[in-house]
Amino acid sequence: MENAVKKEVSFVEVDENNEGQRLDNFLMAQLKGVPKGHVYKIIRSGEVRINKGRAKNLTRLKIGDVVRIPPVKLVVREPHEPDSWALKLIKQRYLHENDDFIVLNKPSGLAVHGGSGVKYGVIDALRTLRPELKFLELIHRLDKATSGCLLIAKNKRTLNAFHDIFRNKKIEKSYTSLLCGVMHKSPIRVNAPLEKYSLNGGDRMVRVHPEGKPSETTFHVERKFRQATLVTASPKTGRTHQIRVHAKHLGHPVAGDERYCTESQLKTFRELGLKRLFLHAKKIKFKHPTTGETAVFEAPLDDDLNRFLKTL
C-alpha cells in the first residue's frame, strides 16, 4: 500500500556514515519515493543548500556539513514486517561478525532485499533483528535461490572500502554447484560476455551476447555422477546470473535452475528429489579493509543439498 505525504523542510547534519558521499546520492537515500529527476531539479534550483550555500549534485559531503532539504512529496510504502520464520532463520545463519561487517550464510529462497513484488529480504530481517545498528547495508548480492556467504557492512567507511575491493577485483569467491550432465574436461574457463534482457512477460534474463559485458568463470570438476557433475565455480567478474548463464553456455546448466534449464532437465532432477537451485557461495576471500590481513570465510553446504548428493 502506498501513501503520498508531504515532507517539510529539514536540516540534516552529515555524520561519518555519509562522509564523502555525493549530494545527489545522499538526497536519494533521504527522499525515498521522490523521482530522481525531481531530486536533480531541487538541486539545480538552489532549494537544496549545504551550510546555507548552493551546491552541485556532484558535491562531496564532509562530516559536520548541514544539508537543507526543501519540502517535497514522498510516496511512502507501507513497510512489511519480516515473518517470524525468516527472523529465526537469519539468527541461525551468522558466520562471523566484527565492528565493521557481518558475514551471513544466506538461506536459499530468501531475497537479499525487498522490492519488485518481494515484501522483504535478508537485509530487512537483519535490520529488524538488530535495531541498535543504525547502519546496515548489503556489500554485494546473491540471487534469491542461491545460498552461502553474504557480506553486510555496519558503517559507510567499510561499505566504501568493500566497493573498492570488488571494483578492483581483489576478492576471490567460489561456489559449489551441481550441473546437469557429465562434464569430462576440467578445468574449463568460460570467457563470454553477458547481456541483460527482458521477456515479454517482464521477467529479467541474461544471455551470452557479443555486445554484453566482459564476464569470466572457471569451472573445476569435483565429482562426477551418472546424470550430473559437482563443480567448484570461480567467477572472476560479478555479473547478474553469471555462473548460471555460463554453465548453460557450456551445455550444462545448474541443476534446479528454473530460468535456464530445459523442462526435461528440471523434471529429471525434481523426480530425483532436488527442490531448489543447486548453487551455493561456499567461500569468500579478501584483505580485511581495516587490518589488511587476509580474511577467509566459508559457509557449509546446506543439509538439503548434502542429502540430495547422497541420493545420487
Collect contacts of 39-45 with beta carbons under 8 A, ≥24 apart.
42/70, 42/72
What letter represents residue 136's amino acid?
L
Query: The C-alpha cell of 295 is what?
Result: 580474511
pTM of the model: 0.78
**Closest-CA residue to 230 (of 284, 309, 173, 300):** 309
Of 65, 124, 143, 257, the catalytic one is 143
Instruction: Please give the CATH number for the structural domain made up of 2-77.
Output: 3.10.290.10
Please compute the mean of the pLDDT values over residues 252-259 and round it to a whole number: 96
| Rounded Cα gap, residues 41 and 48, in angstroms | 10
Position 232 confidence tier, pLDDT thresholds 50, 70, 90: very high
Strand-pair category, 171-180 with 101-106: unpaired
What architecture is domain 84-160?
A: 2-Layer Sandwich (3.30)
Q: What is the mean pLDDT of the chain?
A: 90
Instruction: Report whether 112 contacts 142 (CB < 8 A).
Output: yes
**In the predicted model, is pLDDT for residue 158 greater than 70?**
yes
Higher-confidence residue: 58 or 114?
A: 58
Q: Which residues contact 42 (CB under 8 A, 6 or more apart)?
A: 27, 48, 70, 72
Instruction: Report whether 34 contacts 46 (CB < 8 A).
Output: no
Position 32 confidence tier, pLDDT thresholds 50, 70, 90: confident
Q: What is the pLDDT of residue 25?
A: 86
Q: Which fold has domain 169-311?
A: Pseudouridine synthase (3.30.2350)
Tens of pLDDT, residue by residue over 39-53, are 899 999 999 999 999
Domain with CATH 3.30.2350.10 in the chain: 84-160, 169-311
143 is catalytic: yes
